[in-house]
Amino acid sequence: MLPADRYRRVEGPEITACEFCDTRALPHLEFVSIDNDAGGGGEDIPAGLIETREERDGAIAYRARDPLSGTTKLITVRKPQICSECVAQIAAQVGLGERQPLLAEIDELRQDRDELREQLETSERQRQEAEAALRGTAVYERMLVGGDPNGTEAASAGGGKSGPKRG
């Protein structure tokens, strides 16, 4: 799918005609433009010559330098537009006409999400409890052994700069 902002509602004078059925603006029809140009200048406008790029709902307007004359000219590249009736027909072909099964699925996924969130919270609580218990055990062990737990090892490492302090 293209990024969401590449699909735009087109209104008023920006409406041209449906790419598929060639219908022009009618009161009961909505039009959507599709920008599949990957954000570039298109084949006929080399990127290096583009000075400004203005994104409109139904078209992209470029101000580009003409390499021969050196002057700047305005080039409008129309985006393909599709009418709402064609969109509805296409949607029906891929099963989007019926919303009920989709809504049921959304409900189910929401329930799954809530359950997973609860499980995650429980796991996190248990992890924190286990960590606290482990810390308690470590303190207790140190108390049993006594003294500096790093002292003997550091000394046998051989007089490094982090050697044990002597009193």
SS3 assignment, position 76: strand
* Residue 116 to residue 111: CA distance in whole angstroms: 9
Select from 18, 25, 60, 64 the one that contacts Zn ion (CB under 5 A). Answer: 18
Tell me how far apart the 2 most distant CA atoms of the chain are, in Å: 95
Shortest Å, Cβ 87 to Zn ion? 8
Query: Is the Cβ–Cβ distance between 9 and 31 less than 8 Å?
Result: yes
Per CB under 5 A, does 25 bind Zn ion? no
> Which among 36, 51, 48 has a CA at the least distance from the CA of 5?
36
Binding mask 141-160 for Zn ion (x = CB under 5 A): --------------------
Shortest Å, Cβ 31 to Zn ion? 9
CA 43 to the chain's CA centroid: 28
Identity of the amino acid at 5: D
For the segment 72-131, give every residue that binds Zn ion (CB under 5 A): 83, 86
Per CB under 5 A, does 10 bind Zn ion? no
Per CB under 5 A, does 21 bind Zn ion? yes
* CB nearer to Zn ion: pick between 75 and 87: 87
Shortest Å, Cβ 98 to Zn ion? 21
Shortest Å, Cβ 89 to Zn ion? 8
Shortest Å, Cβ 19 to Zn ion? 7
> Which among 60, 63, 69 has a CA at the least distance from the CA of 49?
63
Per CB under 5 A, does 59 bind Zn ion? no
**What CA dihedral angle connects 148, 154, 160 and 162, to 10 degrees?**
-30
Q: Give me the residues that bind Zn ion (CB under 5 A), please.
A: 18, 20-21, 83, 86
